[in-house]
Amino acid sequence: MSATTHIPTEARERPPILVAGPIAWARDNLFNSWLSTAVTLALIYLIVRGIAGFLDWGVLHAVWTVPADAKGQLDPTACRDAKGIGACWAFIGDKWRFILFGRYPYDDQWRPAICVVLFIGLFVVSAMRRFWRKELGYIWLGTLVVIGILMWGGILGMPFVQQDSWGGLPMTLILATFGLALAFPLAVLVALGRRSTGLPAVRYLCVAYVELIRGVPLISVLFMASVMFPLFMPVGLNPDKLLRAQLGIILFGAAYLAEVIRGGLQALPKGQYEAADALGLTYWQKMGQIILPQALRLVIPPMVNTFIGSFKDTSLVLIIGIFDLLTTGKVALAEPIWQGYSTEVYIVLAVIYFIFCYAMSRYSRGLETEFSRTARR
């Protein structure tokens, strides 16, 4: 380019690191005035203090193990002495299997462990575009059947385990997976129904559903599902608590997701609908082949936002006594010798939730860039 020839000599002789390197960036963004230098230094101080404080508590002064007596009873004195100074990771070391798997029989906990691995495998496979075919449905069905067999048992020499004893991470994954996997198609239908001009009854029904659900907190939906619902149902026709909570989560998530998807439908130019009509596609062909693929791509970021929200919202089943990850954490805290170490538990729970949510968020960003590369407008 001719522009390079006009750069003054001294500028060209400057070391490039000062023009474009990290030092230059820091100078331009962090130290460009007295005020910003002061703020930067203050923040650096706070961050360093924070990290140092955490390392001090979480690593340097942490109690990693506590001795056990002859009967195998742990002696938490070391933790008690370190309280406020160092973290008691010994508590997590003792209770981690309870936190992860709840009251599931100890010797059979390999079963929910495999289920967690299967769930994660299912997510990874579903995330890869080259598996986006009809067979993916069968993979889901097959995996869910295997997970059901593992969790319940009762065959193949595995003792039967009641649903009431399930808990921890597998429970959270069950609630979230079914919650999202079933809320999504429901949300698509509701969003389409809300925009259908030909069927006013369907439209009013969808509007009523969305407005009703959005108007109440999830907690009350869960309460209704667990407490009020049985009152209305004839005796004997009473789906169990987990199923009811699951239904509540699905209905709740779908209402929010439907609004997000509706936004995508509205953002598509009218010409896309008309071109599909003019070619003679039926309503469902038009939606399935033309409208939804584009509308859903447009709303990936808010959709993933809703997904992440629903994933974390499953923890509200705590209040109706379902043993999800948060509940097992809280119950672990109730153990007499381990009372008072809530920080440690919540850090562990936060890390687990963060891993799943961050994975979703990264994945959505990846999808976005991929789509914008293949289908430039």
Partner 1 sequence: MSQAALQPDTQPAIVLDKVNKWFGALHVLRDVTLTVGQGERVVVCGPSGSGKSTMIRCINRLESHQEGRIVVDGTELTDDLRALDTIRREVGMVFQSFNLFPHLTILENCTLAPIWVRKMPKAEAEELAMDYLKRVKIPEQAKKYPGQLSGGQQQRVAIARALCMRPKIMLFDEPTSALDPEMIKEVLDVMIELAESGMTMVCVTHEMGFARQVADRVVFMDRGEIVEAGKPIEMFENPQTDRLKLFLSQILRGH
Does residue 375 touch partner 1 according to CB under 8 A?
yes
Does residue 376 touch partner 1 according to CB under 8 A?
yes
Q: Burial-class residue 364 by CB neighbours within 10 Å (0-12, 13-18, 19+).
A: middle
What amino acid is encoded at 191 in this protein?
Answer: A
Does residue 294 touch partner 1 according to CB under 8 A?
yes
The greatest distance separating any two alpha carbons of the chain, rounded to the nearest whole angstrom, comes to 90
What are 197's two structure tokens? 């001009």
Which among 54-62, 71-79, 136-144, 284-292 is the span making contact with partner 1, rule CB under 8 A? 284-292
Among 81, 240, 274, 370, interactor with partner 1 by CB under 8 A:
274
- What are the Cα distances from residue 22, in Å, to 17, 29, 252, 369? 7, 10, 47, 26
Among 7, 11, 231, 278, interactor with partner 1 by CB under 8 A:
278
Among 32, 285, 339, 342, interactor with partner 1 by CB under 8 A:
285
Among 282, 339, 342, 343, interactor with partner 1 by CB under 8 A:
282
SS3 74: strand
As measured in angstroms, the least distance from the Cβ of 279 to partner 1 is 4
- Is residue 259 within 8 A of residue 188, CB to CB? The reply is no
- Is residue 158 within 8 A of residue 150, CB to CB? The reply is yes
- Is residue 256 within 8 A of residue 214, CB to CB? The reply is yes
Does residue 290 touch partner 1 according to CB under 8 A?
yes
- What are the Cα distances from residue 363, in Å, to 129, 288, 299, 304, 368? 12, 23, 14, 9, 9
As measured in angstroms, the least distance from the Cβ of 368 to partner 1 is 14
Does residue 370 touch partner 1 according to CB under 8 A?
no
As measured in angstroms, the least distance from the Cβ of 200 to partner 1 is 16
Does residue 297 touch partner 1 according to CB under 8 A?
yes
Does residue 196 touch partner 1 according to CB under 8 A?
no
Interaction pattern, residues 75-114, with partner 1; x per rule: CB under 8 A: ----------------------------------------
Does residue 215 touch partner 1 according to CB under 8 A?
no
User: How many other CB atoms sit within 10 Å of the CB of residue 176?
Assistant: 22
Number of residues that bind partner 1 (CB under 8 A): 22
Q: Which of 160, 167, 170 is nearest to 117 (CA)?
A: 170
What are 20's two structure tokens? 């474009």
Interaction pattern, residues 251-270, with partner 1; x per rule: CB under 8 A: ------------------x-
71 CB-side CA count, 13 A:
2
Which among 79-87, 156-164, 238-246, 369-377 is the span making contact with partner 1, rule CB under 8 A? 369-377
Q: What is the DSSP string of 95-137?
A: HHHHHHHTTS-GGGTHHHHHHHHHHHHHHHHHHSGGG-STHHH
Does residue 271 touch partner 1 according to CB under 8 A?
yes
Contacts 24+ apart (CB under 8 A), 141-144: 143/118
Among 289, 339, 342, 343, interactor with partner 1 by CB under 8 A:
289
In the complex with partner 1, the residue whose CB is nearer, 118 or 296, is 296
Does residue 377 touch partner 1 according to CB under 8 A?
yes
Does residue 279 touch partner 1 according to CB under 8 A?
yes
What are 91's two structure tokens? 């508590």
Among 281, 352, 360, 367, interactor with partner 1 by CB under 8 A:
281
Does residue 330 touch partner 1 according to CB under 8 A?
no
In the complex with partner 1, the residue whose CB is nearer, 60 or 275, is 275
As measured in angstroms, the least distance from the Cβ of 308 to partner 1 is 25
Which among 52-60, 63-71, 117-125, 289-297 is the span making contact with partner 1, rule CB under 8 A? 289-297
In the complex with partner 1, the residue whose CB is nearer, 81 or 274, is 274
User: How many other CB atoms sit within 10 Å of the CB of residue 280?
Assistant: 8
Q: What is the CA radius of gyration of the chain?
A: 27
Binding site residues, partner 1, CB under 8 A:
269, 271-272, 274-282, 285, 289-290, 293-294, 297, 374-377
